[in-house]
Amino acid sequence: MNTDLWIVPYRDGWDVIFEGARYAESHHATRDQAIAAGNIRARRDNVDMLVFDSEGRVCMRNALNHDLAFKC
């Protein structure tokens, strides 16, 4: 799978979901928990991870295991 992995707010928590996927890979109570789970999955699948804020804007990016993050 060569699509980005997204960390997005969903209902009462945060989802880890591949771009364009119908269902989330996992759901977490906090954004930090979702980011931790997303990092593991992104490294395993060798994909970029994007973290969105509660307003739908990208606020952090981890590009192919290189921490190019900027904080939300």
What residue ranges do the domains of the chain occupy?
A: 5-62
Q: Which amino acid is at 58?
A: V
Q: pLDDT, tens digit, for every residue of 8-54?
A: 999 999 999 999 999 999 999 999 999 999 999 998 999 999 999 99
At residue 41, the pLDDT reads 94
Cβ atoms of residues 25 and 41 within 8 Å: yes
Q: Is the pLDDT of residue 64 over 90?
A: no
CB atoms within 10 A of CB 69: 14
Q: Is the pLDDT of residue 5 over 70?
A: yes
Percent of the chain topping pLDDT 90: 67
pTM assigned to the model: 0.85
Give 25: exposed, middle or buried? Use CB within 10 Å, 0-12, 13-18, 19+.
middle
Q: What angle do CA 58, 65, 67 make, to 5 degrees?
A: 55
At residue 32, the pLDDT reads 92
